[in-house]
Amino acid sequence: MFEGFETGQASLRGTSIAYVRAGHGAPVLLLHGFPQTHAMWADIAPQLVAAGRQVICADLRGYGDSGKPQGMAAYSFREMGADMAALMQHLGFARFDLVGHDRGGRTAHRMALDHPEAVASLTVMDIVPTQTILDALTTPVARAYYHWLFLAQPAPFPETMIGHDPDAYFESCLLGWGAAQLSDFGPAQLQAYRHAWRNPQAIAAMCNDYRAAIDVDLALDRADLDRQVHCPALVLYGAQGAMAQAYDVAATWAPRLADMRAAGITGGHFFPDQSPGETATALLEFFASNDRRAGS
């Protein structure tokens, strides 16, 4: 995976952030989601590099090879986003394109609110706003996304249950949320995910991620309901995924993104794994459109 990419580890804000980078040109930061690591971008990042972008793929705190601080509050999207803003500053990038899938998308949205000067464009993948999910939870969404409430239960209940067979639990997550099978995920990526999620500290961190969404992030998002992200924004979603079945995904984002485009991509929640070429094409067309607008 990531042939030709530099591997790095940055000590930032009291923890460490693992990343890979390659390429030249305008920088783009790619953020993974649950229960994956930066390995999810292994089939997409090289396409962006080949098209002239400098690409950084990082592990969120608690995930993969990044540090795993103690405590629920350490895992809010604000904290995760501050890590990534610090990482890009550490790497010498004052402004960059930002792409996030799942938890990475929620982190990216928070970054665009908290660090607007740094975010040249925002892409969120297969999510609706956190506040929308939690304040207007419907029966179909609760059934499909039960893990939001399971993982948020007090420690050590979910950690103990998952710890008995991490592969069985997390692979059930990969196969959920619409139109996925294990063969959709490359063998090297699966190996990286299994290595990461078998770590008890990573299991605890992922639970804290979901606890923080309810106990920290929901209040932050409610407070920011009247704020918009003003940079160019792209909303991508799995055309066969649970979110597209339960919501008009674009409509949930329209009040929050002042300059928004949206499109469905073939697949379910994990459409970047299922359709990496289509996903990369959508990103590159979005970046190119922004470049043309900036130059006009």
Q: What digits encode the pLDDT tens for the residues 119-158? A: 999 999 999 999 999 999 999 999 999 999 999 999 999 9
In the beta sheet, which residues pair with residue 236?
125, 263
Q: What is the C-alpha to C-alpha distance for residues 18 and 38, in angstroms, rounded to an integer?
A: 9
Range of the domain at 282: 6-295
CATH code, domain with 172: 3.40.50.1820
Question: Using one digit for the tens of pLDDT, what is the confidence trace for 4-24?
Answer: 999 999 999 999 999 999 999
> Is 269 an annotated catalytic residue?
yes
On whether residue 1 sits in a domain, the answer given is no
Give the chain's domain count. Answer: 1
What pLDDT score was predicted for residue 117? 98
Backbone angles phi, psi at 240, to 5 degrees: -105, 15
Specify whether the CB–CB gap between 267 and 239 falls below 8 A.
yes
What pLDDT score was predicted for residue 178? 72
> Is 101 an annotated catalytic residue?
no
On whether residue 141 sits in a domain, the answer given is yes
User: Count of CB atoms within 10 A of residue 50's CB?
Assistant: 11
What pLDDT score was predicted for residue 179? 67
Percent of the chain that is helix, strand, coil (3-state, to 5): 50, 20, 30
- The residue type found at 286 is F
What pLDDT score was predicted for residue 263? 98
pLDDT beneath 70, residues of the chain: 179, 296
Residue of 97, 209, 269, 273 marked active site: 269
For residue 123, give both structure tokens.
């892409």
On whether residue 146 sits in a domain, the answer given is yes
Backbone angles phi, psi at 250, to 5 degrees: -60, -40
On whether residue 62 sits in a domain, the answer given is yes
Q: Is 294 exposed, middle or buried (0-12, 13-18, 19+ CB in 10 A)?
A: exposed
Residue of 59, 65, 83, 102 marked active site: 102
